[in-house]
Amino acid sequence: MDETKLNAFMGKLVTDMGGAALMATVLVGEELGLYRAMADGQPTSPEELAAKAACNPRLIREWLNTQAAAGYVETTEGRFRLPAEQAMALADEDSPVYVAGGASVLASLFLDKDKVVAAMRGNGGLSWGDHHQCLFSGTERFFRPGYRAHLVAEWLPALDGVVAKLRAGARVADVGCGHGASTVIMAQAFPASRFFGFDFHAPSITTARTRAGERGVVDRVTFEVANAQGYPANGYDLICFFDCLHDMGDPVGAARHAREALAPDGTVLLVEPFAGDRLEENINPVGRLFYAASTFICTPNSLSQKVGLGLGAQAGEARLRRVFMDAGFTRFRRATTTPFNLILEARR
């Protein structure tokens, strides 16, 4: 036993346990509007914040002490302030780096622990819709800022000739659309095009329809409950899979259906979590987050469906390419990347 290594590992564990506990305090901070109440960057006392948020002052003091110990807020002489950078990540849902929504996804890991244990002891299957509902809202809130920041400005322009088609008026399918964040963002940017969102999870489609209404795009967006192999093959110019292909039981079948559903010179946009092809390349902060989510959410969902390929959220580009080649596509390339995403283009 190497005592130095043991101490280093204990330090790592304490850091990780603190991180897990902090995510619970982020959930509370969000729900009570505490970060938003501090978003002006002004120093506040616990009593002032408690009054602003209509909360118990003693518990607010304890919450602020936690945030200070974590470096989420700054403190001097009993007053606390949220720096502008932290406010972007924790208080502003429209900021490109807002990540606080991810805490709801993490909450679902704990809330659904018993179901995951049962899946691990059983056939491995746990369907998307059988998770706690905080997964569905958390996924929308975690992914939407990235779509708002990158989808129209970078990802669509990285595809060959797609933006010109969208401007002129194209037919777009968003498969596995969840709450429709990506669909609505594209529809807002390209009013001449028509957008069709599909997901097999009926409650998500209900929410997606609400979002289309809230954001004024019902004239160009429809959302329908459909499996990735069951939506109408209506000659789409663009078919998108945003962070969902690896969740599917039969990604090759889904890609094959997309091939049949494309217009003759149509394009598939595949957005997947960033990953290298080998486990060794994913031993890093992003990899550990995505592997954990994959263990609890993505892989069990895939195993609960027909074929049950279980690609996993860290599939990597080479395996994704093989999926599309097996489905009959002849062209597949990396269009661009972000620190969290691979953006891939497939054509017939």
Ligand X SMILES: C[S@@+](CC[C@H](N)C(=O)[O-])C[C@H]1O[C@@H](n2cnc3c(N)ncnc32)[C@H](O)[C@@H]1O
By CB under 6 A, name the binding residues for ligand X. 128, 139-140, 143, 176-178, 181-182, 199-201, 204, 227-228, 242-244, 247-248, 301, 305
The residue (of 32 and 245) whose beta carbon lies closer to ligand X is 245
Cβ contacts of 199-205, under 8 Å, gap ≥ 24:
199/175, 199/223, 199/225, 199/226, 200/128, 200/176, 200/225, 200/226, 200/227, 200/228, 201/128, 201/129, 201/136, 201/225, 202/129, 203/129, 203/133, 203/136, 204/136, 204/177, 204/178, 204/179, 204/180, 205/177
Q: Which residue, 105 or 162, has its beta carbon nearer to ligand X?
A: 105
When the beta carbons of 72 and 155 are compared against ligand X, the nearer one is: 155
Cβ 180 to ligand X shortest distance, Å: 8
Find the residue with minimal CB distance to ligand X. Answer: 178
CB of 96 to ligand X, least distance (A): 16
We find the least distance from the C-beta atom of residue 242 to ligand X, in angstroms, to be 4
Give the Cα separation of 324 and 347 in Å (integer): 9
Nearer to ligand X, 102 or 176 (CB): 176
Q: How far is the CB of 146 from ligand X (least distance, A)?
A: 9
What is the C-alpha separation between 140 and 146, in angstroms, rounded? 10
Cβ atoms < 10 Å from Cβ of 13: 10
Q: How far is the CB of 319 from ligand X (least distance, A)?
A: 17
Of the pair 35, 290, the CB lying nearest ligand X is at 290
